[in-house]
Structure 1
Amino acid sequence: MKTVIKKSKAAFLLIALVNLAVAFGAFFVLPPRFFYDAAIIAFDKGNEVGYFGSYPLTILFYKITGLRHLPFPVIALLQFPILMFILYKIGIPNDFEKINVKNILVYLGIFMMAIFISMPSKEFITFLFISPIAFMCVNKQFSFKKTIIISFLLFVVFGAFYRPYFALIPIITYGMYLISFINFKNRVLTTIFYGLLIAFFLSLSYGIIKGEYFSEISREVVNNARMGSADANSMIVPLVKPDTWYGEAISVFYGFFTVNIPLNGLKHLLSPQILIFVIWQLLLSYILLVRFSKCLKDRENYKYELFALFILLSFFIIQGVFEPDLGSAVKHKTGIFPLIYFTLYYEHFRKKLQ
C-alpha cells in the first residue's frame, strides 16, 4: 500500500530540511556580531552561571545538557529539529505549500529561526517556554479560564527567573482585555493605545520607586555603550531622552511603532537584511491587526485565538519599551514564534478540531 504524503506536509518537511542546512551553515557565513551572545553563553568567561536571569540560566542549561562543549553547527543540528518538531505538532495548514503572504511570512520566520537559534541562544529557551501556551490555545484541552491562569502563572515564573519583562505581559494583556469590552469606534487601535498607556504607567511607577524608567535601564544602557559602532545602524533612538516622564511616554509610543510598524526602517535600502525584516514586520503587523479585529467582533467563538493575540500584542508593546534595535527585535520574535504561527493559522486549527 502506497503512503501518500500531502503537499502541505511535503512542503513543511522540505522547508525544514533546507533551513536545517541554513542553521548548520550559519556559523560559517555569519559575521562575528551574530555570535556575541552565543559566545557568552557557551564559554561563560565571566562565570555568570546561576539560577536567576536570562544569561545565568541559559548558561546553566547549556552546561547541564553538555551542549556548550559542542561546535555551534552541531548545536544547530540538534536544536533546529526540536523547534520544527514543535511547529509540526502545533499543526501544518492544508495550504502550506501555496505561495501567499501568510505562508511567506512563516517561511521567513522559519528562516530567521535557523539564523538566530542555530547556536547557544536565549531564544531557544523562550521558544520552549512559549510552546505550551500555543498548544493550550490550539488543543483547547483546558477550559478558557484555566488556560488564562496557567499562561499567566507561566509568564510570572518565567519573568521572575528568566526575563523580568515577561512578568509584565499578564498585566498588559489583562488591561487590554478589559478595555476591549468598551464599545469604542475603533476598538483595535483604542485597545492598543491603552495597552501602551499601561506600559507607560508601569514604567512610570518603576521610575518613581527606582529612579529610572524602563527605557533607561534597558534600551539606553545598551545603545549608549555602542554608539557609533558598526552594530548601531538599526538602533532605536527615541525622539526625546527618556529621563523624564514625558520623555519616557514618547519613548514607549515611538519604540512600539518603530519596532512593529517600522516605516522609518525603509530608509535602510542599502541593508537588505534590515529591509527584509521591515517588510516582514509590516506585513505581520497588518495581518495580526486584521485578525485581532475579526476576533474582537466574535470574541466568544474566538476566545482562545483572541487571548493569543492579546499576548502577542502585549509582547510587541513590551518590545517597544525594551528593544535596543531592529535586529534584536526580530531575534526576540523568533522566541515567541509558536504563538505567531498559531495566530496566523488559527482558522486551520479550528477546522481541524471540528
Structure 2
Amino acid sequence: MMVAQLKDLFLKDNFFLDATTIATFIRWGAEFTIGSSYQSTSAFYDTIGISDNSPLFSLSSSLIIIFSFYIYLKKASAKYIYFGEFSLLVFLTFLSTVFMTMLSKELLVVLVIVPFIYFAEKGTIGLLIWSLLAIVYATYFRTYWFLFIAEFWLLYLVFRSTRSALLLATVVPLSLFALSVFFGVSLGIDLDSFRTKVNDIRLEGNVDDARTMIMPWLPGGGLIKGWLNVCITWITLMVPLPLILMGTPYYLIISYAVIVMYYKIWRRVTIEIKQKNSEVVSACAALVLAYVTIQSLFEPDYGSYVRHLSPFYPLIFFIIISRPHSRTSHT
C-alpha cells in the first residue's frame, strides 16, 4: 500500500501513459464501444465514479491486488513455501502494485481472472461459464482475447488427455502455425505483422521509451518467417534473452524473475501432466500458457508484456506453490 501511494516519486513518466490516456477519455465522455479498449475501459471507470488517479483509488486498487493474492494463496493450501518462492511473491506483488494501482486496463482484467479458480473448481461446466464471461470482456475490451480463449481450450484439452509435457509444448508452435495459415489466407498478413506495424511507427517517431521493443528475429516476411518469428518470441517471453543482453541491473532482475517463474510453472506442469492430481492446476496452467502464446503475436515490447501479464501473477503463484500432494480439484 505504501508503494501504491509513493510510486509517483520513483516511476518514470512512461509508466503513466495509459493512465493519462484513460483519464483523458473519461473527460471526453467515453462510452462502451465494441472492440475499443481505451473507450470501454474509460467508460467502466466513469460508470463506477472514478475519473483520476487519486490516493483513494491507489489505496482501493492495492487492496484488490492484496485480496487477489490472498485468494490464490489460500486456494493453494500449501503448508510451506521456500524462501525463493517467497521472494518471487514479494516481487510479483510489487510489480502488480506498480502497474495496477492507477487507471489501467490491467486492473479490469483482475476482475475477470480472480474468479477463474472458482469456476475451475466446478470442472468443464464452470470453465464454459467463465469463457462466456471472458467473451464479453473480449467483445468490448480486447478482441485478441477470442484467440486467447480458443488457445486455452486447446491446451486444456491436451493437458487433460496426455501424460507428455513435451507434447503439450509441441502443441503451441503447431497452433501458431495454424494461426499463421489463417492470418495469411483470410487476412493476407503475416502472423507477426501486428507487432511489426506498431514498432515501425514507434521507430519512425523516435519513441524514447521503447528500448525493449520485440524486433523480428528473421528478416523479411512470409507465412513461414512470420510463424518462426512468433515461435522464437514465445520462447524469449519465457527466457528474455534481449533483456539479459542489455545488462542493466533492472532488466537483469526482471529477466531472472521471469525465468524462475516459467521454470517453476513448467516443472509443476510436468508433474501435473504425469500424475493428473488437480484439474484446477491443469486449468490454471493452460490459462497462463495460452495467454503467453497469444502474447507472442501482439506484444510490442517486454515492458508491455510484463504489465499485461500482471493480472495473472496471483494465479501464476498458485500454480507454483500448489504441491503435487495437495488435492485442490473438486471431487
The question of whether the paired residues in 1 share the 8 Å contact of 2:78 and 2:322 is answered with no
Cα 1:183–1:342 shift into 2, 3 Å: closer
Percent of aligned pairs with the same amino acid: 26
Counterparts of 1:313-324 in structure 2, within 5 Å, are 313-324=289-300
Distance 1:352 1:194 in 2: 24
Q: 104, 127, 133: which one pairs with 1:154?
A: 133
Amino acid at match of 1:51: T
CA root-mean-square deviation: 2.7
Asked if 1:60 corresponds to 2:60, the answer is: no
1:169 paired to 2:155: no
Aligned partner (choices 239, 258, 270) of residue 217 of structure 2: 239
Question: 1-side partners of 2:133 and 2:152: how far apart?
Answer: 14
- The one-letter code of the counterpart of 2:59 is L
Question: What is the TM-score with the length of structure 1 in the denominator?
Answer: 0.83
After superposition, where does 1:1-354 map in structure 2 within 5 Å?
A: 20-44=1-25, 49-52=31-34, 53-71=36-54, 73-92=55-74, 100-137=83-120, 140=121, 142=122, 144-180=123-159, 187-217=164-194, 219-227=195-203, 228-241=206-219, 243-270=221-248, 272-299=249-276, 301-347=277-323, 350=327
AA of the residue aligned to 1:198: S
**What is the CA-CA distance between 1:180 and the residue it aligns to?**
4.7
Say if 1:42 and 1:62, in contact at 8 Å, map to a contact too: no
Taking the aligned partners of 2:162 and 2:180, their CA distance within structure 1 comes to 27
Q: 1:258 to 1:47 in 2, by over 3 A?
A: farther
- In the alignment of these two chains, the number of paired residues is 325
Partner Cα separation in structure 2 for residue 62 and residue 223 of structure 1: 29
Deviation at 1:258, TM superposition (A): 1.6
Q: Any stretches of 5+ residues in structure 2 without a counterpart?
A: none
Deviates more, 1:86-95 or 1:316-325: 86-95
Shift of 1:213: 3.5
**Distance change (3 Å), C-alpha of 1:90 and 1:349:** farther
Residue by residue, what CA displacement relative to the aligned partner does 1:287-322 show, whole Å, maximum 9, x if unpaired?
Answer: 0000000110122x3222112111111111111111
CA distance in 1, matches of 2:202, 2:231: 23
Contact 1:126 1:335 in 2 (8 A): yes
Deviations 1:267-302 (A, max 9, x none): 1212x3222211111001100000000110122x32
Give 1:16's aligned residue. none
- How far off its partner does 1:28 sit? 2.5
Q: Which amino acid aligns with 2:62?
A: F
1:307 alignment partner AA: A
Gaps of 5+ in 1: 1-19
Contact 1:41 1:59 in 2 (8 A): yes
Amino acid at match of 2:189: E
Find the residue that maps to 2:189 and give its secondary structure. coil
